[in-house]
């Protein structure tokens, strides 16, 4: 009998991709996806623990599911991903209605874990992290009769997909839980990545985003080719960029400490590589960067940005910033604000520092009070929004290539090569996945507007 499952995904794009993999493996084991949590026989929470807030959301949803399970005892509940990894057994002690806890290296066999829980008539907790872990091959089956061909509803469109190239992290930034939740850095086999992209592109996918916590160190910690010959991240990019009919290639995320000139050159040399780069800086103060164990100075960061912009003047640069790291003074924060003025990021993701279990910064003195963190965050975001608007305004009147994602009420939601969301008016019907040139007519802080066809009205 086919059972139905519902997946709720928290956190990063890596988790989005993991949820697709879970959906695929469930599809191969007589489960079908439902979009209504109340209809599901199985609910999976794919969780994030990067900040305390993300974890609290998971806990409150689990509280809600406890009530549903009281009325529907046959409901199965699985907690997967980073909170599962972090909490392990503690999770079933606190939440006895949970049937399966699947850590980050155990998401590939949820159906088996569920069967084991059933057999032993009690929760199954799988959270062992192995240092010699090899990411399993998980090539999407996109055939028309395959249960897995039903979209996992995670992507905006089926024309743009994520492909995981590595997992884990060896950097140990002092605030970050990822080395504990995702384990040691493991790069995926090159041939598996190529095959996966190949299958996706042959099934009509036009845009691929390669994912990893620190893609620049791809291939540096384990062998990725069958004969043991090395392959660096720029070499991987070159191979993937050369796959026939792949129109757009992106990647995320990079650590500035490993950013090579060879990689920056790819933006000049590989036509399908989109001019967009996410380069988390975290702070503008060298003293804070040192306490964060980031292993670069702000002078080095600015130098890298200059080189990058030399190779690719149109590149859109985004970053991540943490405000209120332990010991951050007003003077340190002023340096982060000054960095905004000198680099002028196109956009940024900014967060209040959050203590995470097991991290080195947990024990650091001089925690910044909540009101101060909130004030710094809002000052930072206000200035970033102004800069984003100023930068976006420069696109007005220009022609840009966009890919259609979906139709919103009167406009089409599209994405430019620069990764800007562009809302496009068009008299002609546009198909999702279609790539067209549009004229930018209006700029906002977080998106652009454009017209497809003749006589754009520019505001």
Total interface residues for ligand SF4 by CB under 6 A: 13
Interface with ligand SF4 by CB under 6 A: which range of 7-15, 87-95, 135-143, 286-294?
7-15
Shortest reach from residue 14's CB to ligand SF4, in Å: 5
Q: Is 384 in the site for ligand 5AD (CB under 6 A)?
A: no
CA nearest to 255, candidates 310, 284, 204, 218: 218
Shortest reach from residue 132's CB to ligand SF4, in Å: 20
CA distances 381 to 113, 258, 356, 375, Å, are: 43, 27, 23, 10
Q: Is 15 in the site for ligand SF4 (CB under 6 A)?
A: yes
* Sheet of 100-102, strands arranged across: 31-33, 3-9, 42-47, 76-81, 100-102, 124-126
Q: Which is nearer to ligand SF4, 104 or 276 (CB)?
A: 104
φ/ψ region of 172 (left if φ > 0, alpha if ψ in -120 to 50, else beta) reads left
Residue keyed to tokens 């989005």: 16
Residues in the chain: 459
x/- contact string, 136-175, with ligand SF4 (CB under 6 A)?
----------------------------------------
Instruction: Please pick, from the candidates 5, 9, 18, 51, the single residue that binds ligand 5AD as defined by CB under 6 A.
Output: 51
Q: Is 14 in the site for ligand SF4 (CB under 6 A)?
A: yes
Peptide bond preceding 38: is omega within 30 degrees of 0, i.e. cis?
no
Instruction: Please pick, from the candidates 42, 62, 77, 178, the single residue that binds ligand SF4 as defined by CB under 6 A.
Output: 178
Q: Where are the alpha helices (DSSP H) in 39-157?
A: 52-71, 82-87, 89-94, 110-120
Contact present, 23 and 143 (Cβ < 8 Å): no
Q: Which is nearer to ligand SF4, 48 or 305 (CB)?
A: 48
Q: Is 212 in the site for ligand 5AD (CB under 6 A)?
A: no
Instruction: Please pick, from the candidates 44, 80, 201, 322, the single residue that binds ligand 5AD as defined by CB under 6 A.
Output: 322
Shortest reach from residue 446's CB to ligand 5AD, in Å: 18
DSSP code per residue over 378-439: HHHHHHHHHHHHHHHHTTTT-EEEEEEEEE-SSSEEEEETT--EEEEEESS---TT-EEEEE
Q: Is 11 in the site for ligand SF4 (CB under 6 A)?
A: yes
Shortest reach from residue 19's CB to ligand 5AD, in Å: 18
| Residues 377, 382, 386: CA angle, nearest 5 degrees | 145
Instruction: Please pick, from the candidates 248, 250, 356, 423, the single residue that binds ligand 5AD as defined by CB under 6 A.
Output: 356
48 binds, among ligand 5AD, ligand SF4, none (CB under 5 to 8 A by kind): ligand SF4
Q: Is 258 in the site for ligand 5AD (CB under 6 A)?
A: no
Q: Which residues bind ligand 5AD (CB under 6 A)?
A: 50-51, 175-176, 280, 282, 320, 322, 351, 353-354, 356
């Amino acid at each position: 009998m086919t059972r139905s499952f519902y997946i709720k995904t928290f956190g990063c794009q890596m988790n989005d991709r993991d949820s697709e993999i879970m959906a695929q493996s469930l599809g191969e084991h007589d489960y079908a996806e439902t979009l209504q949590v109340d209809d599901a026989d199985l609910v999976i929470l794919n969780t994030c623990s990067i900040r305390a807030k993300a974890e609290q959301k998971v806990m409150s949803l689990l509280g809600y599911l406890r009530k549903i399970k009281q009325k529907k005892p046959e409901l199965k509940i699985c907690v997967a991903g980073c909170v599962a990894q972090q909490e392990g057994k503690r999770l079933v002690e606190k939440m006895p209605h949970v049937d399966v806890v699947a850590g980050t290296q155990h998401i590939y066999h949820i159906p088996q874990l569920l069967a084991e829980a059933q057999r032993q008539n009690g929760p199954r907790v799988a959270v062992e992290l192995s240092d010699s872990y090899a990411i399993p091959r998980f090539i999407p089956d996109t055939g028309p009769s395959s249960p897995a061909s039903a979209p996992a509803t995670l992507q905006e469109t089926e024309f743009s997909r994520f492909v995981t190239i590595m997992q884990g992290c060896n950097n140990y930034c002092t605030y970050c839980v990822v080395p504990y939740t995702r384990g040691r850095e493991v790069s995926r086999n090159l041939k598996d990545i190529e095959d996966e992209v190949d299958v996706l592109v042959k099934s009509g996918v036009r845009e691929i985003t390669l994912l990893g916590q620190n893609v620049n160190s791809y291939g540096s910690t384990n062998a990725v080719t069958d004969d043991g010959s090395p392959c660096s991240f720029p070499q991987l990019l070159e191979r993937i960029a050369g796959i026939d009919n792949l129109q757009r290639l992106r990647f995320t995320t990079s650590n500035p400490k490993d950013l090579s000139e060879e990689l920056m050159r790819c933006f000049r040399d590989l036509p399908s590589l989109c001019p967009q780069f996410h380069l988390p800086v975290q702070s503008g103060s060298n003293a804070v960067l040192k306490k964060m164990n980031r292993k670069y100075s702000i002078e080095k960061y600015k130098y890298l940005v200059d080189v990058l912009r030399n190779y690719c003047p149109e590149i859109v640069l985004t970053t991540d910033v943490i405000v209120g790291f332990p010991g951050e003074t007003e003077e340190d924060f002023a340096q982060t604000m000054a960095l905004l003025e000198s680099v002028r990021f196109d956009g940024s993701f900014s967060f209040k520092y959050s203590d995470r279990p097991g991290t080195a910064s947990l024990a650091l003195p001089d925690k910044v009070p909540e009101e101060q963190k909130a004030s710094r965050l809002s000052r930072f975001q206000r200035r970033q929004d102004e800069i984003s608007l100023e930068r976006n305004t420069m696109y007005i009147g220009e022609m840009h290539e966009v890919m259609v994602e979906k139709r919103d009420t009167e406009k089409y939601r599209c994405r430019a090569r620069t990764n800007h969301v562009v809302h496009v008016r068009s008299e002609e019907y546009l198909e999702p996945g279609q790539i067209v040139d549009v004229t930018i007519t209006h700029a906002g802080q977080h998106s652009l507007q454009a017209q497809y066809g003749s006589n754009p009205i520019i505001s």
